[in-house]
Amino acid sequence: MLILLCTSSADSDKYVLENIHGRTSIRNYSDDPVPDEKIRELLRAAMAAPSSRNVQPWLFYIVKDREKLDRLAAGLPYAKMLGHAQLAIVVCGDTGKGSPNEEQKMNWVMDCSAATQNLLLAAHALGLGAVWTGVYPYAERMHVVRETLQIPDHVIPLNVIPIGYPAEYPTPKDKWNPENIVSGFDAKAD
């Protein structure tokens, strides 16, 4: 279990914000395997995400098998790094969970996206590298993932997250842009 020891609330705030701002997409990994206890922490963090009506529509496929990782790398245009990753987590939405209605059938995308962001932040906090590679809504990509992992029709693959110990440490991008803010807030003041 990940335990955060902080001497004050300010320390906790600083740690959380540093983790958010320091996270970056990692596409090159070492050959070191990711221990099961870290995978468990990633999944616990992902499942701590909010979900509409608390349906928790997510399903996580853990892929360690080299043949499956290579098949996914070959079939997914923006996931070639799977060819040297030790692990991937495929985040899927189970459209049969809860009491599916038209609204809930679409909420799985938001819920699973929140779970994915938690997973990415947890990976960074645990010293791992990860990158979100999109699958949904692209029919070809979804087909590759479905076929490789034998995913049933009511489960929709949202993304594939390659994970491993970073072989490189790119500088995080500063994405702050006051022009993206529409409000009475003075975003230009520091």
Interval 65-93: pLDDT, tens = 999 999 999 999 999 999 999 999 999 99
Per-residue confidence (pLDDT) for residue 188, from 0 to 100: 74
Percent of the chain predicted with pLDDT > 90 = 79
Tokens of 118: 């938690």
Under 8 Å CB-to-CB from 3, ≥6 apart: which residues? none
Tokens of 60: 């996580």
How does residue 2 score in pLDDT terms, banded at 50, 70 and 90? very low
- Least confidently predicted of 33-37, 58-62, 120-124, 184-188: 184-188
Tokens of 57: 């529509």
- Is pLDDT of 187 > 70? yes
Max CA distance (Å), the chain: 54
CATH architecture of 40-166: 3-Layer(aba) Sandwich (3.40)
- Is pLDDT of 8 > 70? no
Neighbours of 134 (CB within 10 A): 15
- Is pLDDT of 22 > 60? yes
CB 116 within 8 Å of CB 158: yes
- Least confidently predicted of 44-53, 90-99, 160-169: 90-99
Per-residue confidence (pLDDT) for residue 1, from 0 to 100: 40
- Is pLDDT of 122 > 70? yes
C-alpha 151 chain-centroid distance: 19
